Amino acid sequence: MKISEKILNLVPYQTGKPIDEAKREYGLSQVCKLASNENPLGPSPMAIEAIKNELHQLHRYPDGGCYDLKHHMSRHFGLDPNWLMFGNGSNEIIDLLIRLYCEPGDEILTSRSAFIAYKLCAQAARVDVKELLMTQDLKFNVEEFLKYLSKKSSKTKLIFLSNPNNPTGTYLNKDEFENFFSVVGERDDLIIIIDEAYFEFVRAKDYPNGQEFLNKYHNIVVLRTMSKVYGLAGLRLGIGMARPEIVSLFHRIRNPFNVNSLAQVATIAALNDKTHIQNSQNIVWEGLDFFYKELTQLELPYTPSQGNFLLFDTKRDAGVMSHELLKLGVIMRPVQAYGFPTSLRLSVGLPHENKMAIDALKKIIGSSK
């Protein structure tokens, strides 16, 4: 049977190496995984409690309409319930939006070094991907986007902006957003998806909250996730905010039970656990500042980050470097697929894990001098 070229050319998403696998392969007893932007504090204790209370209901199908979750979330964001949609991770929402708005041969537009899930979901749907280069300082190149969209608009249906972006940690500021949306925010042949997976970690004062643009422009979808600051990556819950017309189209094509029952109750509990959220933010902010200081001393250039991770230049082949780090029990993420052959992305961990990572880097660099 003939398989589509788009499928044959698809390189599956590379997940971070699991801790047990690293232990097995390298014969290590202690391994720290700083590779998947997970919350090093774990889930909120309140979320765990909510899950325990829900376990005896596991023989029941979940609430396909996520009634409680939706109303809770509606209050949380100050957004009408029919402006909310949920997915099995924001990854599923990305996947479904592409299926919803693109026919094979249509195109999505994003950056060469943007989160790679956009590209993979598009390929799986036989949709073309146009990637524009980032600026020198590794930001989405707004001018190039506008130039491209004014030239040939017909094929581009969806634009994906991750703000802040993974793996660069960079962001578009309010002025750049205004500039972009004032040109394309009224177009009815385009949907712009603003992926704010790291929203809660942003410290930059001029960062634009995508939610504030929802009323102003009709063609925007904002994505949030429970996988990062809330520490619920294993449960899979993504949040989409958009006009009711978009949300109701989404409901037509999603699976009836795309969000499981444990994710629904845990999310409500996690949203309420302000202490856990604050602790999670603080550990990341302190960790980032620690890495900035240490990497400067090691003379390894880094890109300041608004996420819970950091892209830095090892000034060596990143494949070799990540292998050396693994031997010392530290898992980081190579990012060659994003166009960075000498860089690694590290996720901020607990203080002793961060120190272990820096000690390992020092050891490797010291021995190669």
Ligand X SMILES: *Cc1c(COP(=O)(O)O)cnc(C)c1O
**Shortest distance, position 367 Cβ to ligand X, whole Å:** 33
Distance CA 179, CA 167 (A): 24
Residue in the shown chain whose Cβ atom is closest to ligand X: 89
Name the residue nearer to ligand X (CB basis): 141 or 166.
Answer: 166
Name the residue nearer to ligand X (CB basis): 115 or 338.
Answer: 115
Say if residue 9 is exposed, middle or buried (CB neighbours under 10 Å; 0-12, 13-18, 19+).
exposed
Give buried/exposed letters for 19-31 (b at 16+ CB in 10 A, else e).
Answer: beebeeeeeeeeb
Token pair 């600051």 is at which residue?
229
Distance CA 280, CA 235 (A): 18
Say if residue 282 is exposed, middle or buried (CB neighbours under 10 Å; 0-12, 13-18, 19+).
exposed
Distance CA 338, CA 131 (A): 11
Name the residue nearer to ligand X (CB basis): 223 or 295.
Answer: 223
**Shortest distance, position 369 Cβ to ligand X, whole Å:** 34
Name the residue nearer to ligand X (CB basis): 197 or 265.
Answer: 197
**Shortest distance, position 151 Cβ to ligand X, whole Å:** 27
**Shortest distance, position 170 Cβ to ligand X, whole Å:** 12
**Shortest distance, position 282 Cβ to ligand X, whole Å:** 20
Name the residue nearer to ligand X (CB basis): 46 or 233.
Answer: 233
Cβ distance 242 to 85 under 8 Å?
Answer: yes
Q: Give which of 222, 219, 218 is closest to 209, Cα–Cα.
A: 222
Cβ distance 195 to 162 under 8 Å?
Answer: yes
Query: Which residues bind to ligand X, rule: CB under 6 A?
Result: 37, 89-91, 115, 162, 166, 195, 197, 225, 227-228, 233, 238
Tokens of 3: 């398989």
**Shortest distance, position 268 Cβ to ligand X, whole Å:** 17
Name the residue nearer to ligand X (CB basis): 328 or 346.
Answer: 346
Name the residue nearer to ligand X (CB basis): 88 or 219.
Answer: 88
Neighbours of 296 (CB within 10 A): 11
**Shortest distance, position 225 Cβ to ligand X, whole Å:** 3
